[in-house]
Amino acid sequence: MPVYDKFFSSVAKSIKASEIREILAIIRERKDVISLAGGIPDPQTFPREELAEFAKKMIIEMGNQALQYSETKGILEVREMLSHFLLESRGISVDAENIIITTGSQQGLDLIARTFLDPGDIVITENPSYLAALGAFKIRGARLVGIKIDKQGMRTDLLEETVKKLVNEGKKIKFIYTIPVGQNPAGTTMPPDRKKHLIEIANKYDLLVIEDDPYSYFIYDETVDITPLKAYDEEDRVIYMSTISKILAPGLRIGWLACPSGVTRKLELIKQYMDLHTPTLNQFIVAEAIRTGLVSQHAHKLSPFYKKKRDTMLKAIKDYFPENVWYTEPVGGFFVFVYVNKKGFDTGKLLYKAIDKYKVAYVPGKSFHTDGTGENSMRLSFSYPPPDLIEEGIRRIAELIKNE
């Protein structure tokens, strides 16, 4: 057998396993452990009967197309439907020509990273931010600069300071990556003022913005403003991305980008090398789910469903957690983010003990941070477990925090 190391690319040599995935792999074999780790939808929400019918119907009626190779950007009819859907549901005006259907949001992130990033380029994100987005930017060699968040999401005052400083230093900022509504991992949402301020900064300093919006379709507080940044984007600087993963089913792997016309073609050309096109059948199934109103109705049902789980988690936290814990109160998304103010408390080091002794799993928070901090933080997901296990899971986490 050869020594394989010498064959690997520099990227492959440097790459490390994602904590989330490693943990999920462990827990799968431990039925006694309550997992508050991965942000997995509750499968009882999947509209199986409808999707089964759509899949069958699309293959029978549209099989010549649905089973065939198709356009790299996505099926035209499906992009037209998404164009309509984005306008109706989000006030986003984007032509079908500037929509790209991706194989889940992760491909969207990877595609954006490959299209825009060279080693050393700066990407600005919330700190903390979405683990897999940070990863996609980092393997392209990007330098991440994180902006603090508070209960209202990214602090755009600090954003402006940081951008100004970097520009003065002659640094090359490529884009700001943000999850303005139901942020992952913090669950925060930016109010309209901040959204507008962010766009002003992008305009003033000539930056692109990547807006990731997987969660705004079910929000737990009706007073929250879910207007996307893209709706304020008069200079065509925002690439808006979303996905069907949280509002229908992640196993279909369908996401989409709404792009400024000046970048669509490059994104399309690079996607072509990645997978030729996103599975055709899955695009037709999603189009049918949008066309028939299933997506809208379903998102509507998800909101109270996950709100109940969120409330259960927050109540359990109030009941069980000690005083020295700071946590977010999410208005959207699947997560509560927690900082433990206790000297030497390291969620990464404690993870295996948590699983082994306390029978509970979470995602250590450090890897959501851009600056190596967050050792004392963790992400807790309420999306998958039933309410009684959410409560019991939080009780176990509370024990861990008190005892370790």
Report d(CA 193, CA 295) in Å as an integer.
Answer: 29
Minimum distance of its own copies from residue 364's CB (angstroms): 18
Of the residues 162, 196, 269, 324, which one makes contact with its own copies according to CB under 8 A: 269
Residues 15-44 that bind its own copies (CB under 8 A): 15-18, 21, 25, 38, 40-41, 43
Minimum distance of its own copies from residue 339's CB (angstroms): 27
Residues 311-370 that bind its own copies (CB under 8 A): none
Residue 107 binds its own copies, judged by CB under 8 A? yes
Report d(CA 90, CA 225) in Å as an integer.
Answer: 11
Residue 68 binds its own copies, judged by CB under 8 A? yes
Tell me whether residue 222 or residue 234 sits nearer to its own copies (CB atom).
234
**Strands annotated E in 97-195:** 99-102, 122-127, 143-150, 153-154, 173-178
Select the span of 1-9, 212-220, 293-301, 319-327 touching its own copies (CB under 8 A). 1-9
Tell me whether residue 49 or residue 222 sits nearer to its own copies (CB atom).
49
Report d(CA 259, CA 237) in Å as an integer.
Answer: 8
Of the residues 278, 312, 328, 370, which one makes contact with its own copies according to CB under 8 A: 278
Angle, CA of 302, 304 and 309, to the nearest 5°? 95
Q: What is the dihedral of CA 296, 301, 306, 312, to 10 degrees?
A: 160
Select the span of 85-93, 104-112, 217-225, 374-382 touching its own copies (CB under 8 A). 104-112
Of the residues 23, 92, 100, 117, which one makes contact with its own copies according to CB under 8 A: 117
Task: Report which DSSP code applies to 378.
Answer: E
Of the residues 77, 114, 342, 392, which one makes contact with its own copies according to CB under 8 A: 114
**Cis geometry, peptide bond prior to residue 185 (ω within 30 degrees of 0):** yes
Residue 251 binds its own copies, judged by CB under 8 A? yes
Residue 399 binds its own copies, judged by CB under 8 A? no
In this structure, what token pair is assigned to residue 22?
């490693």
Residue 386 binds its own copies, judged by CB under 8 A? no
Site track 207-226 with its own copies (rule: CB under 8 A), x = hit = -x------------------
**Letter string b/e over residues 201-222, b meaning 16 or more CB atoms within 10 A of that residue's CB:** bbeeeebbbbbbbbbbbbbbee
Of the residues 79, 90, 155, 174, which one makes contact with its own copies according to CB under 8 A: 174
Residue 263 binds its own copies, judged by CB under 8 A? yes
Which residues contact residue 374 at a Cβ distance below 8 angstroms, ignoring those fewer than 6 apart? 128, 339, 365, 366, 367, 368
Of the residues 193, 221, 235, 356, which one makes contact with its own copies according to CB under 8 A: 235
Which residues contact residue 83 at a Cβ distance below 8 angstroms, ignoring those fewer than 6 apart? 94, 95, 96, 99
Tell me whether residue 86 or residue 131 sits nearer to its own copies (CB atom).
131
Tell me whether residue 285 or residue 355 sits nearer to its own copies (CB atom).
285
Residue 166 binds its own copies, judged by CB under 8 A? no
Tell me whether residue 16 or residue 343 sits nearer to its own copies (CB atom).
16
Of the residues 19, 37, 104, 125, which one makes contact with its own copies according to CB under 8 A: 104
Minimum distance of its own copies from residue 212's CB (angstroms): 14
C-beta contacts of 226-231 below 8 A and 24+ residues apart: 226/90, 226/181, 226/189, 227/90, 227/91, 227/192, 227/195, 228/90, 228/91, 228/92, 228/180, 228/181, 229/178, 229/180, 229/195, 229/198, 229/199, 230/90, 230/92, 230/94, 230/258, 231/90, 231/91, 231/92
How many of the chain's residues bind its own copies (CB under 8 A)?
Answer: 85
Tell me whether residue 158 or residue 274 sits nearer to its own copies (CB atom).
274
Tell me whether residue 47 or residue 387 sits nearer to its own copies (CB atom).
47
In this structure, what token pair is assigned to residue 259?
């792009």
Residues 120-139 that bind its own copies (CB under 8 A): 121, 132, 135-136, 139
- The answer to whether 306 touches 314, Cβ cutoff 8 Å, is no
Residue 280 binds its own copies, judged by CB under 8 A? yes
Tell me whether residue 34 or residue 136 sits nearer to its own copies (CB atom).
136
In this structure, what token pair is assigned to residue 19?
């904590």
Task: Report which DSSP code applies to 219.
Answer: B
Report d(CA 139, CA 136) in Å as an integer.
Answer: 6
Residue 260 binds its own copies, judged by CB under 8 A? yes
